[in-house]
Every structure is written in structure tokens, then in C-alpha cells.
Structure 1
Amino acid sequence: MSALSTVVVVTWRGREHITACLDALKAQKSPHRTIVVDNASDDGTAELLGGHEVVRLPRNRGYAGGLAAVLHLVDTPYVAWLNDDAVPEPAWLAELESALAKDAGAAAATSSILLADGSTQSVGVALTADGHGKDLVLAGREVFGFCGGAALLRTDVLRAVGGVPASFFCYYEDTDTAWRLRLAGHRVVSVGPARVRHRHGASTRPGSRLFHRWNERNRLLMLLRCAPAGVAATQLARFLAITVLLPLRRNAPRAANFRFGLRAQVLAEVLLRLPAVLVQRCTITTSTKRGRVWQDWAGR
């Protein structure tokens, strides 16, 4: 039987966990191709990848950059995104493939991602009232977006909506892609039996300065690319106002994403990218569709 899917695993300094991921892929019930993208690891990861199809990048391009770097190599109807610290159950890929085969309107299928203790990390992504992507732990069949740590997409549709936003580096590349899929008229489904175990935070440090920088910046970039103009402008203005007023507040929040220096850096990076982002916005879709998607999904 020929493979329907290519599984892309992006790794950076994944020596401690990538073997478990790749072993679990070998045990999948559904035949597939695996491409490992090594983001210039310097911890011995490369030595563990013998026997696998590997694309080694000369520098660390992040999760989004790694996915984007090999999309042109994918020659199967489906492409899976899988974190290098995720361990899928044997039926994982088959369940995702079956879900897309049965639902022609769905362009992406998201997994049940479980933490080490068995609790649920994500069964899909919701869009909050202020435009954040939020992991769902309970969901029906259809969800706004997929969690990029373990999902399956139609390859031709992904390419048609612009591929993976490589410049995001890390975080929100999945929610941005879900936005573009929906703007093009496609749906995203949650597949409960497609289960993976995830060592959350093994590859990145949630709560770190970099984590908050990428999250805050990429949320704003996503909204500027995809959301209704009023929503994008409001959220950018709100971020700016909070940042400007922070030094005047006596009891400012102590979280890393409320530090003035970090927020100033985020604003600088967004403004630097703004001309290119506005050009990208014009290529994505019409304002009417943006409003409809926002009305249907924001705050649900």
C-alpha cells in the first residue's frame, strides 16, 4: 500500500526525546513517509538520526521555519506536523487519515494531545474574544483550529492557502494556518481517538522571555494578516497602550509578558514587519470573509 501521508518532525537539540517519537512512528499502523528536519542541533541529535530521511538546516529556523523548509518535498496527499517530544499511539495516523477521508470539507484534523500524567493538553484550538489561540480540553467534532504539535493537513490545500508562515519561527503558526484554511472555506475537525503523549516544554521553555516574545508578536502578526481590520487595529492599539502605561502603574502584573522591555521589542518587531504583513494580508482573502469567520468563532 502506498503512503498517504508524510510526517514532518522538526527537531532542535532533541537528543533526550526524539528517539521515542521516531520509534512510535515506526510502529504506526498506516504506512507513511517521515522527514526529520534538524534545526542545526549541536547536542548530538544528528548522530541519532541514522536510517531516517533527514534535512539538516544550516541554522535554527524554528518550528515554523522547519516545516516550511520541507513542504516542497512532500509528495503525498496529506502532511502531518508532529513535535519531536510527542509519542503517538499506533493508530494515531490512521485515525487522522480516516477522518479526512470521510470529511471532504475538512482540510485539517487535530489530535488528542495528552500530557505525561494522562491529562489533556489539547483537542483543538479555540479563538478567544481578543484573538488569542487557546487550547481546548473538551470539544465537539469541529473546532476553530488545530494544535500544530500533532495534526494532519491536506497538502494541496496547505500550499494553496500560502503554506507555513516561516517567519513566525515558533508559536501561532498553527492558528494562523487555521485562519487561512477557514478564510478559504475549509474546516478543521478534532479526532479523539488520534492520541499522542506530549512532553510539554521539552523543546521550548513555556513562560520564558522568548516564549512570551514569540507568542505576543505572532498573535499580533496573525491578526494583522487574517482578522478583520477593526479587530487587528484594536488589538495592536491595546497592546501599545498597555505597554506605554506600564511604567506608570504601581502594581503592574509580574508576568514576563508585562515587562516593558519585552513588549517594546515585540512592538518594534511588528512595526518592522508591518509593510510586508499588509501585502500578505491583501493576498489572503476579502474583508467579508474575515468578518464572517470572526463572528462565527471568536469567543466561542
Structure 2
Amino acid sequence: MPANAAQNPGHRVRTTVVVVTWRGADHIVACLDALAAQERPHRILLVDNASDDGTARLVAAHPAKPQVLRLPRNTGYAGAIAAALPLVETELMAWLNDDAVPDPAWLARLEDVLGSAAAAGSRLDRADGSVQSLGVRLTGDGYGADAREARVFGFCGGAAVLRTDVLRAVGGVPADFFCYYEDTDTAWRLRLAGHEIATVPDARVAHRHGASTRPGSPDFHRWNERNRLLTLLRCAPAAIAARELARFAAITALLPLRADVPDAPNFRVPLRCRVLVDVLVRMPATVRARREITRRSRVGRRQVWRTWAGRTARPEGATVDR
């Protein structure tokens, strides 16, 4: 069955698949080919973050004929998903990385298993077929890390489906995160609002991890550390958020006195100072967002933390594998 909704007027279309791309010429065709082969009809909304590498030409020529939202600048994954949300008219909204290739049954399995949950995550596989992620787990220091067990705190934003009305009701997507933690922050807000998040290991996606964001780069570490702190300040118990912000600042201040500093970008004082400045500049907006999240909440922050946060903290500066 062809997946393009226009070719299936007799079938109910439940999902708009939002694909975010930036300089995705090397892999966007494979992603769109996989969507065209889906067993379940859907709409495709491709958000192009001002690509300048021929991506737009490849998308325009593809037989899937996705709706395209071309942004004037690169707003990152979070900004692109936020820009797409007002355009989604279907019951469900799927998030999909442009370097992801879903199995033909991927969307059907997500839709069928979602049930009463607000979101459902997929199984992301590495090139060798091993599991990269079944979702996001919450560590004892508030990082969102890849989970490889079915009981997860949240979905991995690289391939998931969410109820559109619920996503809007909990405040949408934090566009200014740019990249990373938009999924963990959304999972926090869904949990606080009393919603469930499902995991669908049979909904499989081959994922070229980090094709656009270069995990391990200084930008990756800045986004990762900054957005973890912002997520905690927005969503976590106040004591946890304050503890982690103070801990990050204290480690930064003591790094020049240490003789055993690891040679990694997230242990470089200038990068960490930039993270702290970014967080402080955003503090007024973050406090306002926290108040709004509190207003929408049906479950206490401490209860969510006690239920989902890991007992063992990760080493300072460790990174997620997404």
C-alpha cells in the first residue's frame, strides 16, 4: 500500500510525519524512500533548516512529494519541530530525524500500540543492528540518556509519535533549545501532566547517529549541558535543579586547580562558562515557563523524580548517545 495520503483518499490519515533536515543531501532520499514504503498512510511535512547543499532540490524531485516548510535560518531540531507544530492538522504528529530509515511497518506499529498514551517511542538501531535507543532514561543527576530497556522515562526524539493536542496542551516544544533535550523536556511535561509514554520495540528505525550534529563536538557539549540544566530548572524539583546548577558552577570554578582534567570539550572552562551565561540569560523566561508547567501539572515534581530518576549519577560531563 503506498503511504502518500493523496494516493489513499479512502484511508483515514492519523499521522503527520515531521522530518527535520539540515544539509541532509547525503541521507534525505533514503529517509523519504522509507516513508514512501510505509504500510500506513500518512502526511509528510519536511522542515528544511535553510539547507544550502542541494537538499531542497532532492526533496522537490522525490516522488513522496512532502509538504515543505523552508526556514530562513537554521533553528535546530527543536526550533524546526516547534515551527511545524502549528501546521499539523492530524491527530498524531511523528518526529523523525532525516538520517533515520524506518521499517515499512514502523508507523503502523506506533499507531497501533499508542493506546491511551500521549507518546510512543521507537527502537533506534545502529548500522550493525544493535540497539542504540529504546527511549530516554533519567539519570540521578538529571541527564536524559539512551535507554536500552523497555521501561523508559521518555521517548527518543529521533523517531516517535505524539498526540498533537496533548503536545500543544503541555506547551509544545522548547524552540530555543536548538538541539538536544527537546524530547526529555517534553517527556517531563507529559509525565507532570499525568500522561503515559509507551515504548514500541517492534517499531524499528535504522539511524545514522549524529549525521548532522557531530556528537563530541564543542557545540554538542554546549547544547547537551545547557539544555540539561534548563530542563531541570523548568521541570524538576527545585532542590534538584538548584543542586545541579550549583554543582556545574562549582566544578567549573575548580577545574583550573585540577591536574587531572580530561581532554574533552565539556571540561573546558570557556565552554562551561558559556553554558552558565546561556542559562542565566534565559533564567527569567525559564522561571515563567516553570510557573506555567506547574499550572498544568497533575503529578508532583518530586513524585516524577522519585519514580524515574536513576540512583547512580553519571560522571560529570558524560554525554548521551543520540
TM-score if structure 2 supplies the norm length? 0.90
How far off its partner does 1:139 sit? 2.0
- The residue that corresponds to 2:317 in the other structure is none
- The residue that corresponds to 1:280 in the other structure is 289
- The residue that corresponds to 1:23 in the other structure is 33
Taking the TM superposition and a 5 Å limit, the aligned residue runs for 1:163-174 are: 163-174=172-183
- The residue that corresponds to 1:96 in the other structure is 110
| Partner Cα separation in structure 1 for residue 105 and residue 227 of structure 2 | 33
How far off its partner does 1:144 sit? 0.7
Matched, 1:136 2:150: no
User: Cα RMSD between the aligned structures?
Assistant: 1.0
| Partner Cα separation in structure 2 for residue 254 and residue 131 of structure 1 | 23
Size of the aligned set, in residue pairs, is 295
SS of structure 2 residue aligned to 1:285: helix
**8 Å CA contact 1:184, 1:285 repeated in 2:** no
- The residue that corresponds to 1:5 in the other structure is 15
How far off its partner does 1:203 sit? 1.3
- The residue that corresponds to 2:123 in the other structure is 112
How far off its partner does 1:52 sit? 2.3
- The residue that corresponds to 1:124 in the other structure is 135
- The residue that corresponds to 2:315 in the other structure is none
How far off its partner does 1:138 sit? 2.2
Partner amino acid for 2:80? G
Matched, 1:180 2:189: yes
Partner amino acid for 2:89? D
What does the per-residue CA deviation read over 1:53-90, in whole Å, with 9 as the maximum and x for residues that have no partner? 10000000000000000101101110000000000000
What does the per-residue CA deviation read over 1:230-264, in whole Å, with 9 as the maximum and x for residues that have no partner? 00000000000000001111111222111101000
| Partner Cα separation in structure 1 for residue 124 and residue 34 of structure 2 | 15
What does the per-residue CA deviation read over 1:202-250, in whole Å, with 9 as the maximum and x for residues that have no partner? 1110000000000000000000000000000000000000000011111
Partner amino acid for 1:227? A
- The residue that corresponds to 2:318 in the other structure is none
Partner amino acid for 1:24? A
**8 Å CA contact 2:150, 2:201 repeated in 1:** no
| Partner Cα separation in structure 1 for residue 231 and residue 137 of structure 2 | 14
Specify which of 7, 17, 42 is matched with residue 52 of structure 2. 42
- The residue that corresponds to 2:155 in the other structure is 146
Matched, 1:295 2:306: yes
Specify which of 80, 96, 119 is matched with residue 82 of structure 1. 96
Specify which of 69, 94, 107 is matched with residue 83 of structure 2. 69
| Partner Cα separation in structure 2 for residue 124 and residue 43 of structure 1 | 31
Give ranges in structure 1 of 5+ residues lacking alignment: none
TM-score if structure 1 supplies the norm length? 0.97
SS of structure 1 residue aligned to 2:271: helix
| Partner Cα separation in structure 1 for residue 284 and residue 210 of structure 2 | 33
Bigger mean CA offset, 49-58 vs 84-93: 49-58
| Partner Cα separation in structure 2 for residue 191 and residue 61 of structure 1 | 29
| Partner Cα separation in structure 2 for residue 56 and residue 225 of structure 1 | 30
SS of structure 2 residue aligned to 1:65: helix
What does the per-residue CA deviation read over 1:87-113, in whole Å, with 9 as the maximum and x for residues that have no partner? 00000000000011xx31x11100000
| Partner Cα separation in structure 2 for residue 52 and residue 177 of structure 1 | 26
| Partner Cα separation in structure 1 for residue 304 and residue 23 of structure 2 | 38
| Partner Cα separation in structure 1 for residue 66 and residue 150 of structure 2 | 35
Would you identify which runs of 4 or more consecutive aligned residues in structure 1 move more than 6 Å? Answer: none
- The residue that corresponds to 2:4 in the other structure is none
How far off its partner does 1:178 sit? 0.2
**8 Å CA contact 2:20, 2:48 repeated in 1:** yes
Give ranges in structure 2 of 5+ residues lacking alignment: 1-10, 312-322
Specify which of 223, 226, 238 is matched with residue 217 of structure 1. 226
| Partner Cα separation in structure 2 for residue 170 and residue 160 of structure 1 | 22
What does the per-residue CA deviation read over 1:1-22, in whole Å, with 9 as the maximum and x for residues that have no partner? 1210000000000000000000
